[in-house]
Amino acid sequence: MRSEVRIAGFGGQGIVLAGYIVGKALALYDGYHAVMTQAYGPEARGGASSANIVISDEPIDFPFVQQLDVLVALSQEAYTRFRESSKQDAFILVDEDLVKPKPGDDVLKIPATRLAEELGKRIVANVVMVGFFTGVTGLVSQQAVEKAIRTSVKPNTVDLNINAFQIGFRFANIHEEPVNVSV
């Protein structure tokens, strides 16, 4: 089995870090094969950015996404640009304050940026979204992601990031039924 995930937004949102955390959790702590590629515009902040993760229970021979099973959009541009490259039945996760989906498009919403601001640090909206992703997709375990966070962020930000992750994870479990995307 193979699943393809794209986390996308704009530079400065921590998109690549979010993809790195998910990929690391899958490959090192959950025992899957995972490959991450990244793409970003030439701007340091504000340009397009994406982290693409291919997940499999077998070695991965082609590391690029072709048809997304999951799209995580943290900006309107990301949603608009990548929605069409998603499978018709793909799971679409959006930051509800930053993305207005097409009418009739079935998306899972979380106010990730607003929840991060309530923690006092807007910059952890990416990790709030990783928590939401973990809770609604079932692709990666909560324990694996928490281990990946602890070994991926600066030591003085571990508690903040774990807190942000748990808020997103709880939001998924309170507001949505898990959809369990299979690998």
Domain regions of the chain by residue span: 2-175
Among 26-40, 43-57, 73-87, the minimum mean pLDDT is found in: 43-57
Element holding 2 (H helix, E strand): strand 2-10
Write down the number of H helices and E strands in the chain. 6, 6
How far are the Cα atoms of 62, 70, 177 from residue 130, in angstroms, in the given order? 24, 12, 16
The pLDDT tens digits of the residues spanning 135-177 come to 999 999 999 999 999 999 999 999 999 999 999 999 998 755 5
Q: For strands 33-40 and 68-73, give the pairing.
A: unpaired
Q: Distance between CA atoms of 168 and 111, rounded to whole angstroms?
A: 9
Q: Distance between CA atoms of 112 and 128, rounded to whole angstroms?
A: 6
Q: How far is CA 119 from the centre of its chain?
A: 19
Please report which confidence band the pLDDT of residue 181 belongs to, taking 50, 70 and 90 as the band edges: low
Which homologous superfamily does the CATH classification assign to the domain defined by 2-175? Pyruvate-ferredoxin oxidoreductase, PFOR, domain III (3.40.920.10)
Overall pTM > 0.85: yes
